[in-house]
Amino acid sequence: MSKESYSIQEAILYSHKMAQLSKAIWKQIEKDWQNWVKPFELNLNEHHILWICYHLNGASISEISQFGIMHVSTAFNFSKKLEERELLTFSKREEDKRNTYVELTDAGKKLFEETMEAHASGTDKNTVMQASLPLKDLYGRFPEFQDLEAIVKNIYGDDYLEILDRSIASIREEY
């Protein structure tokens, strides 16, 4: 892609706007997420790990790191804390001994399901979703953000959206 395909002004305006919008959205999601999982004595990273393992039916530390967008050491350390609480177990797989895999215990699955019940009965506290309802009323469905998906795909690779699709398929089956 040649530099000449955009002006400096366009580039600065676009990145300024994207920085402001994505920071605004993410910080609100982070706040809501923290409030949601706090009663279960989980932080956002721990809950994200449970989420990923639950919907992917077990995951490697590197998958958690990639899909959870957290450093490998963050993924490992918080998984370790969840293991100490007996919410998950570590294992190696015969066909891939270099990677550490993580699977939820029955207690881990139960706790995760409880958090999801709290989520389902507390959608009024989900600020971003509530703030999207006028768009849903207008369009008949929640916005799709395909442009955002395309950008994320270009940054994180096809893998990332494939994992998102797998977890979305799993949610469709569950609820």
Q: How far apart are CA 29 and CA 36, in angstroms?
A: 10
Closer residue to its own copies in complex, CB, 81/166? 166
Vertex 20, ends 15 and 21: CA angle to 5°? 100
Could you tell me if 63 and 164 are in contact, meaning their C-beta atoms sit under 8 angstroms apart?
no
Give the x/- contact pattern for its own copies in 143-162, rule: CB under 8 A.
Answer: x-x-xxxxxx-xxx---x--
Closer residue to its own copies in complex, CB, 21/96? 21
Closest CA to 61 of 95, 90, 104, 97: 90
Q: Does 86 bind its own copies (CB under 8 A)?
A: no
Sheet holding 59-60, edge to edge: 59-60, 96-104, 88-93
Q: Does 124 bind its own copies (CB under 8 A)?
A: yes
Q: How far apart are CA 48 and CA 66, in angstroms?
A: 12
Q: Which of residues 17-76 bind its own copies (CB under 8 A)?
A: 17-29, 33, 67, 69
Query: CA torsion sign, 157 to 54 to 86 to 37?
Result: positive
Q: Does 13 bind its own copies (CB under 8 A)?
A: yes
Give the shortest CB-108-to-its own copies separation in angstroms.
18
Residues that bind its own copies in the complex, under the rule CB under 8 A: 1, 3, 5-6, 8-29, 33, 67, 69, 116, 119-120, 123-124, 126-137, 141-143, 145, 147-152, 154-156, 160, 164, 167-168, 171-172, 175
